[in-house]
Amino acid sequence: MKKECEIVQDLIFGYCDGTLNSASKELVEKHLVKCEECKRVYEEIKKDKKMDDDKIEIDYLKRVNKKLKRKKIMIVISSICIVLLVVLHIIAFICYYHDHTTIEIFMNKEISEEEIENIRNQIEKQSEDVEITYVSPEKQLEKMKERFKENQDLLAGYNAENNIFTPSFIIKTKTIQDMEKIEESLETVEGIKKISSTSSNLYESLIMNIFTILYN
C-alpha cells in the first residue's frame, strides 16, 4: 500500500494539472477514495496550485493594467502633440500670410509731395481693398529710438534737421496676389528707393516673427 501511495503522490501533480492519461487518472481517483493520507496531500497540492494560479492571474492582470495605462498615456501624449502641431501650423500660416501681404516702400529723401501722392494713387489702382500707412522720417526716427530703449543715446545726434531716415509707405492687402500686383506696378515708379518684402517660407515666417516678438 505504501508503494501505491508513493506512486499516487508522484502522479497527483499531473492529476491536478490534468495532464495524466485516463489509466493513471483512474488509478489516482480510486486511491484517493480509500487513502486519507494521499487525499490530504492532494488537498494541499490543490490548495497551493490554486494560490499559484491566483497569483499568476493577479500578476497577469497587473501587467495588462500596466500596459493599458502606458497605452493611455501614449494616446494622451500623441493627442497633445497632434494638437500642438495643428496649432503651430495655424500660427505659421497666419505669420506667413501676414508677411506676404505686407510690404514697406522706402522713398527717396528728396521726394516731393506730388511724387508721394502719385505713388499712393498707383497703389490704390492695383487693389480696391488696400491699407496704406504713411510713415514720415520723423516717425521712423521716433520708432527707432523706442526700439533702442536704454541705448537711445546712440541716436542722440539725430533730429528733424539731421535725420537719416526717409519717408515710407507700409502697405497691407487682403491677398498675396494683390500684393504681387502692387510690387510689380511700382518697379519703375519715380521716387522709390527700395521695396521691402519677404520671400520666406511658412516656417521661416514663423521663426522670424518669434524673434521679432522676443527682441522687441
Quick check: 81 pLDDT over 80? yes
Top pLDDT among 179 and 99 is at 179
The answer to whether residues 110 and 85 belong to one domain is no
The rounded distance, in Å, linking the Cα atoms of 147 and 79 is 40
Contact 96, 176 (CB under 8 A): no
The rounded distance, in Å, linking the Cα atoms of 32 and 38 is 6
The answer to whether residues 73 and 6 belong to one domain is yes
The answer to whether residues 106 and 126 belong to one domain is yes
Q: Does residue 214 belong to any structural domain of this protein?
A: no
The domain boundary, picked from 77, 94, 111, lies at 94
The answer to whether residues 87 and 114 belong to one domain is no
The answer to whether residues 130 and 167 belong to one domain is yes
The answer to whether residues 52 and 88 belong to one domain is yes
The answer to whether residues 137 and 169 belong to one domain is yes
The answer to whether residues 114 and 172 belong to one domain is yes
From the list 171, 165, 166, 144, the residue with the least C-alpha distance to 155 is 144
Quick check: 145 pLDDT over 60? yes
What CATH number corresponds to the domain at position 122?
3.30.70.3040
User: Mean per-residue pLDDT for 185-201?
Assistant: 78
From the list 113, 93, 57, the residue with the least C-alpha distance to 176 is 93
Top pLDDT among 152 and 92 is at 92
Model pLDDT for residues 17-27, shown as the tens digit of each residue: 778 888 888 88
Top pLDDT among 45 and 170 is at 170
The answer to whether residues 85 and 121 belong to one domain is no
pLDDT tier at 159 (50, 70, 90 boundaries)? low
Q: 66: helix, coil or strand? A: helix
6: Cβ–Cβ under 8 A, 6 or more apart, which residues?
none
Count of domains forming the chain: 2
Quick check: 103 pLDDT over 80? yes
Quick check: 123 pLDDT over 60? yes
The rounded distance, in Å, linking the Cα atoms of 16 and 158 is 100
The rounded distance, in Å, linking the Cα atoms of 60 and 56 is 6
The answer to whether residues 137 and 67 belong to one domain is no
Which alpha helices (DSSP H) does 100-172 contain, by range?
Answer: 113-126, 137-148
**pTM for this entry:** 0.46
Quick check: 72 pLDDT over 80? yes
Quick check: 182 pLDDT over 60? yes
| Boundaries of domain holding 189 | 102-197
Q: Does residue 140 belong to any structural domain of this protein?
A: yes
Contact 31, 1 (CB under 8 A): no
